[in-house]
């Protein structure tokens, strides 16, 4: 059973999609139930991963599966090769954990064409899980592109007023990046073949990791990969699709987009861009760290002046993901672990924020801050939950956000990115400003708008949706070691590999410099 755990987990949603497609169009409740059951089953299947002790002291891939897929003579070979290590473990868990919550949140929100909506959600889940567990670059690319199609339809069909613009923009931005990455992938493959990689290993990343690509080529390849991932993260200045997509997407779409799809970009850096091209990483670090810091501050400043709650949360994502990037490029254990944890945290808190925005939108059909005020008197339960999530997003000690941001800042401060850290820290303050100010205007004070007077507090279903998220906000806030213990071995190994190669490259450069000096002197 555990032999095919990952495949079962990944393709069960696909089976679920086929089942949903054969259900009658009118059976609204049945379709939603089936989808919920499927996503819950996927979560159950994935649980052994979280409880496995294999990750505690091994950086290797676990639960691996291998099968030949496409093999064309001496041209190329692709394998179905999947596995999970400390880096992907918690992202996989986040995906399987968020999905049932998302489905449950759509219970009343989606009325139009439920069948299509649920089928696309399930297809999306297969794409996301597949991308996280792929150990073959070609396979990864397939899943990576596969995520695009359902998200495009989710935004375009069930989105808000400007949905067509947002959907097309989302699609084209992401696809342009990934097409350039495709060229880079093929180049890496033929380079590997020429430098003696056995044909049998196909596009497997294990062999690609061991390669020494010339620096000049690394720069181009890293640029292609980094551009593609930067769009997905999204980093300043290619973030512009995100506010549109988030604002127009239906609640479920926003939650998945924020909680999981954005992590694809940061995960791509950790899994592919950095270990494949370590020397180029070193050269690009100042640029990427600068963009990350700009993203942190710019995202926060723009979030502050939004009059739409959802847009505010969307821009706050740009800011939060900047922290993740900064942590990753600090290239030490604190920074990396902080960045990885911050990915999970952002998934939980921002996912929760989008759910909260969805709750009030369902009640009032508006998201403008000015339309609200004093809601805490009308909806006390809602207010409590909202406050906790707000604190988590700000990074108050005791919540998950604190641990992640703190580690990122320490890691970056101790690395060569000290000055970047100084500027990034202002982002923490700004986060408190825009979140609390928004909370104050929406929840506190007197009820000024009569339309808000009789709002219903959260229903039992809605509390059930939020409860698991709250549990994790505190759990990670107080006891994050459960997560760290299992991700650290992999991260340590990664850092060691990358740093080693960077050192060798630095030494080679110094030698070359010395030689030129000598020749000049002579």
Q: Which residues bind another protein (CB under 8 A)?
A: 69-73, 75-76, 113, 141-142, 145-146, 148-149, 152-153, 156-157, 163-164, 167-168, 171-172, 175-176, 179-180, 182-183, 186-187, 189-190
509 token code pair: 């450069």
Burial of 446 (0-12, 13-18, 19+ CB in 10 A): exposed
- Least distance to another protein from the beta carbon of 88, Å? 21
- Least distance to another protein from the beta carbon of 258, Å? 22
Burial of 29 (0-12, 13-18, 19+ CB in 10 A): exposed
Query: Can you tell me the distance from the alpha carbon of 522 to that of 519, in angstroms, rounded to the nearest whole number?
Result: 5
- Which residue in the block uniquely carries the two structure tokens 């679920």? 16
Q: Are 87 and 271 in contact (CB under 8 A)?
A: yes
- Least distance to another protein from the beta carbon of 361, Å? 20
DSSP string, 434-496: HHHHHHHHHHSS---SGGGTT-----HHHHHHHHHHHHHHHHHHH-THHHHHHHHHHHHHHHH
- Least distance to another protein from the beta carbon of 288, Å? 22
Query: Taking the chain, what is the end-to-end CA distance rounded to the nearest angstrom?
Result: 70
What is the gyration radius of the CA atoms in the chain, in angstroms? Answer: 23
Would you say 100 or 130 has its CB closer to another protein?
130
- Least distance to another protein from the beta carbon of 107, Å? 23
Q: Are 55 and 86 in contact (CB under 8 A)?
A: yes
- Which residue in the block uniquely carries the two structure tokens 């294990």? 206
Would you say 191 or 283 has its CB closer to another protein?
191
Helix (H, G, I), strand (E, B) or coil at 134: strand
Q: Which residues, in sequence order, are CB contacts of 148 under 8 Å at separation 6+?
A: 171, 174, 175, 178
Would you say 28 or 414 has its CB closer to another protein?
28
Q: Are 332 and 274 in contact (CB under 8 A)?
A: no
- Least distance to another protein from the beta carbon of 103, Å? 22
Would you say 127 or 395 has its CB closer to another protein?
127
CA atoms within 13 Å, Cβ hemisphere of 413: 10
Would you say 257 or 469 has its CB closer to another protein?
257
Query: Can you tell me the distance from the alpha carbon of 281 to that of 268, in angstroms, rounded to the nearest whole number?
Result: 13
Q: Is the peptide bond before 28 cis (omega within 30 degrees of 0)?
A: no
Helix (H, G, I), strand (E, B) or coil at 421: helix
Would you say 156 or 374 has its CB closer to another protein?
156
Would you say 70 or 506 has its CB closer to another protein?
70
Would you say 77 or 346 has its CB closer to another protein?
77
- Least distance to another protein from the beta carbon of 362, Å? 22
- Least distance to another protein from the beta carbon of 262, Å? 21
Residues present in the chain in total? 522
Would you say 179 or 451 has its CB closer to another protein?
179
Query: Can you tell me the distance from the alpha carbon of 144 to that of 10, in angstroms, rounded to the nearest whole number?
Result: 13
Cα 396 to chain centroid, rounded: 22
Q: Are 92 and 116 in contact (CB under 8 A)?
A: no
- Least distance to another protein from the beta carbon of 164, Å? 5
- Least distance to another protein from the beta carbon of 286, Å? 26
- Least distance to another protein from the beta carbon of 27, Å? 16
């Amino acid at each position: 059973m555990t032999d095919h755990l990952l495949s079962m987990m990944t393709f069960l949603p696909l089976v679920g999609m086929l089942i949903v497609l054969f259900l009658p169009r009118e059976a609204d409740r049945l379709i939603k139930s089936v989808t919920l059951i499927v996503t819950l089953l996927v979560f159950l299947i994935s649980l052994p991963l979280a409880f496995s002790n294999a990750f505690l002291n091994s950086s290797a891939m676990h639960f691996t599966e291998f099968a030949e897929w496409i093999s064309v003579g001496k041209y190329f070979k692709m394998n179905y090769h999947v596995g999970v290590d400390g880096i992907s473990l918690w992202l996989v868990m986040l995906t399987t954990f968020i999905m049932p919550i998302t489905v449950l949140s759509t219970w009343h929100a989606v009325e139009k064409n439920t069948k299509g909506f649920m089928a696309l959600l399930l297809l999306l889940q297969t794409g996301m899980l597949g991308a996280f567990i792929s150990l073959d670059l070609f396979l990864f690319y397939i899943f990576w592109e596969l995520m695009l199609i359902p998200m495009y339809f989710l935004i375009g069909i069930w989105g808000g007023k400007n949905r067509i613009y947002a959907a097309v923009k989302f699609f084209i931005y992401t696809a342009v990046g990934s097409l350039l990455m495709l060229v880079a992938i093929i180049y890496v493959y033929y380079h590997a073949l020429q430098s003696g990689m056995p044909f049998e290993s196909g596009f497997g990343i294990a062999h690609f990791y061991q390669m020494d690509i010339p620096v000049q080529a690394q720069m181009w390849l890293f640029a292609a990969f980094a551009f593609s991932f930067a769009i997905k993260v999204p980093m300043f200045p290619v973030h512009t699709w995100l506010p549109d997509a988030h604002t127009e997407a239906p609640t479920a779409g926003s939650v998945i987009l924020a909680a999981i799809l954005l992590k694809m970009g940061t995960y791509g850096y950790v899994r592919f861009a950095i270990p494949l091209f370590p020397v180029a990483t070193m050269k690009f670090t100042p640029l990427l760290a600068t963009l990350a810091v700009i993203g942190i501050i710019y995202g926060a400043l723009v979030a502050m002046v939004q009059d739409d709650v959802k847009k505010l949360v969307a821009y706050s994502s740009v800011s939060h993901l900047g922290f993740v990037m900064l942590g990753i490029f600090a290239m030490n254990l604190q920074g990396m672990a902080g960045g990885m944890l911050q990915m999970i945290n952002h998934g939980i808190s921002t996912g929760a924020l989008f759910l909260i925005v969805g709750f009030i939108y369902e009640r009032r059909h508006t998201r403008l801050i000015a339309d609200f005020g004093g809601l805490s008197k009308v909806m006390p339960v809602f207010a409590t939950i909202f406050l906790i999530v707000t604190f988590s997003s700000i990074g108050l000690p005791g919540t998950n956000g604190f641990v992640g941001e703190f580690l990122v800042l320490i890691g970056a401060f101790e690395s060569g990115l000290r000055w970047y850290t100084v500027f990034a820290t202002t982002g923490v303050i700004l986060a408190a400003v825009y979140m609390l100010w928004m909370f104050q205007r929406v929840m506190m004070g007197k009820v000024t708008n009569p339309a808000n007077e009789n709002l219903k507090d959260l229903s039992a279903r809605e509390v059930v949706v939020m409860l698991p998220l709250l549990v994790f906000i505190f759990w990670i806030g107080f006891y994050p070691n459960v997560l760290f213990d299992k991700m650290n071995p992999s991260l340590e190994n990664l850092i060691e590999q990358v740093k080693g190669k960077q050192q060798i490259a630095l030494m080679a450069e110094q030698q070359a410099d010395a030689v030129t000096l000598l020749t000049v002197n002579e």
